[in-house]
Structure 1
Amino acid sequence: MIAISLGFLGLAVLAVFAARVYTEVRRLAGQVDKASNEIERAARELNDAAGPLAAQTGHFVQDVTSHTT
């Protein structure tokens, strides 16, 4: 009887840890999404700022926002 109780307790502990991992992964995914959006915005701003400067110097500027991964 004690073995069954310990087995059930072990499964319950594993379930708690699995739930904690799940919530942390969801939180991390949200942070990655936010950082990705900020990087995309910064790349767009940099490209917009570099365009006129490149036109003045005669250099070609590649549009970094048109590439998809």
Structure 2
Amino acid sequence: MTWIFLAAGLGAAGAAVLAVSGARVITAARTLNREVATAQAQMEPRRARLRPPEG
């Protein structure tokens, strides 16, 4: 019977580790998204100058 409680505890601990890791990945993805958006905003004026005039 003790092994059932041990298995349940280890399962809960594993789920907690996965939840924390998932939260860190989501936070890193949001940070990366912000950095990419900032870099894209900085490059847009330069990209517009390189485009040939329309018409």
* Greater RCO structure (CA 8 Å; 6+ sep): 1
Q: Find the counterpart in structure 2 of residue 63 from structure 1.
A: 53
Aligned residues: 50
Structure 1: 5+ residue runs without aligned partners? 48-60, 65-69
Structure with greater Cα Rg: 1
Q: Give the TM-score normalised by structure 2.
A: 0.79
The amino acid across from 2:40 in the alignment is S
Q: Find the counterpart in structure 2 of residue 58 from structure 1.
A: none
Q: Find the counterpart in structure 2 of residue 34 from structure 1.
A: 38
Structure 2: 5+ residue runs without aligned partners? none
Distance 1:24 1:12 in 2: 18
Return structure 1 stretches of 4+ with deviation > 3 angstroms. Answer: none
**% identical equivalent positions:** 36
